[in-house]
Amino acid sequence: MPTAFLFAGQGSQSVGMGKDLASSCPHCAALFERADEILRFPLRHAMWEGSADDLRLTAVLQPALLALEVAQARHLRAVGRSADWLAGHSVGQYSALVVAESLPFEDALHLVRERGLLMQEAVPDGVGAMAAVLGLDRAEIRRLCRTVNGVVGIASHNAPGNTVISGDRAAVAEASALCGEAGATIVEVPVSAPFHTALLEQMVPPFTALVEKASFRDPRIPVVDNVGARPLTDAASVRRSLVLQVSAPVLFEESLRFLVERGAGEFVQCGPGRNVLEFVKRIHPAARVLPFEEAAAGTPAPH
């Protein structure tokens, strides 16, 4: 049964994530320590001892998620679990690329840290917002967003009945209210920037320059792309994807459907929580889904 490792994006983080793993796995502890050294920033403190508001800041949260997910994936490999496919949700795609040996861990950390800083500079904290719209048809969400003044639109196709909108805070609030009146349930996404919208287009030129400087190789494990919902096959396509991904919607539902069509029947989540596994179950109820803790349990790590 082909297995896919799925790497979570922002929104499901919590203070303390990864601390137990670092305590039980020396190799993982060393990777977290290395992340601090690479960034010259106390990432472990922010992840394990800081406040939820500090962790929510995208320039902190993006490298935190990357370090956690890469550590988890390497731990899974150490206990004998391997992946036939990889896919990441938004910033989770960087974790997938590191695991696929397409992007070195050090380069990925610098990229997501600078990506976060550029996002915060483009749209300061409090100016934008994101919200999950649950239980409403995507075409109706799109129609309602078009009736609102300001920038708001669909940022992520997560699963049937689970769509995320993003944009100006006031516009997101108005669109959310309209969707609520149409019968949707609205859940605010705890992030500090409106990802995957036109509001971030001003950061594309400087971010493109950073991507061009990073070292990429062809992925050794297929990584399904957020932008096109198809595998990234070479270094050039990886670079293009990471630039387009800044303001393009995340086609995660389409990516999961592609994996199911290719025979994937087991899905393992790397990252906090199990939200991406819930997306899987909406698309493929018979799939075997495992959060990291369950996937890692039962087999001792040879550390």
pLDDT mean over 105-116 = 96
Instruction: List C-alpha distances in Å: 50 to 20, 24, 44, 213.
Output: 16, 21, 9, 32
Three-state DSSP string of 83-119: CCEEEECCCHHHHHHHHCCCCCHHHHHHHHHHHHHHH
pLDDT at position 240 over 80: yes
CATH fold group of domain 128-188:
Alpha-Beta Plaits (3.30.70)
Catalytic residue (choose from 75, 89, 157, 196): 196
Domain ranges (residues) in the chain: 3-123+198-296, 128-188
Residue 300 has what pLDDT?
Answer: 34
pLDDT band at 219 (very low <50, low <70, confident <90, very high): very high
d(CA 162, CA 245): 19
Residue 90 has what pLDDT?
Answer: 94
d(CA 199, CA 8): 23
pLDDT at position 298 over 70: no
pLDDT at position 252 over 90: yes
**What are 53-70's pLDDT values in tens digits?**
989 888 999 999 999 999
Which uninterrupted H or E stretch holds 251?
A: strand 250-251
The domains spanning 3-123+198-296 and 128-188 adopt the same CATH topology: no
**What are 140-186's pLDDT values in tens digits?**
999 999 999 999 999 999 999 999 999 999 999 999 999 999 999 99
**What are 281-293's pLDDT values in tens digits?**
999 999 999 999 9
3-123+198-296 belongs to CATH 3.30.70.260: no
Q: Where are the alpha helices (DSSP H) in 101-246?
A: 105-122, 138-146, 169-181, 204-213, 235-244
- Four-residue CA torsion sign, 147, 148, 153, 158: negative
- The CA dihedral of 10, 254, 123, 11, to the nearest 10 degrees, is -20
Instruction: Identify whether 196 is a catalytic site residue.
Output: yes
pLDDT at position 8 over 50: yes
d(CA 70, CA 68): 6
Residue 301 has what pLDDT?
Answer: 34
Catalytic residue (choose from 12, 89, 90, 95): 90
Residue 192 has what pLDDT?
Answer: 78
Indicate the pairing of strand 266-270 with strand 288-291: parallel
**What are 262-282's pLDDT values in tens digits?**
999 999 999 998 999 999 999
pLDDT mean over 133-139 = 97
CB 217 within 8 A of CB 235: yes
**What are 180-208's pLDDT values in tens digits?**
999 999 999 988 789 999 999 999 999 99
**What are 13-56's pLDDT values in tens digits?**
899 999 999 999 999 999 999 999 999 999 999 999 999 998 98
pLDDT at position 303 over 80: no
CB 128 within 8 A of CB 150: no
Q: What is the mean pLDDT of the chain?
A: 94
pLDDT mean over 103-115 = 96
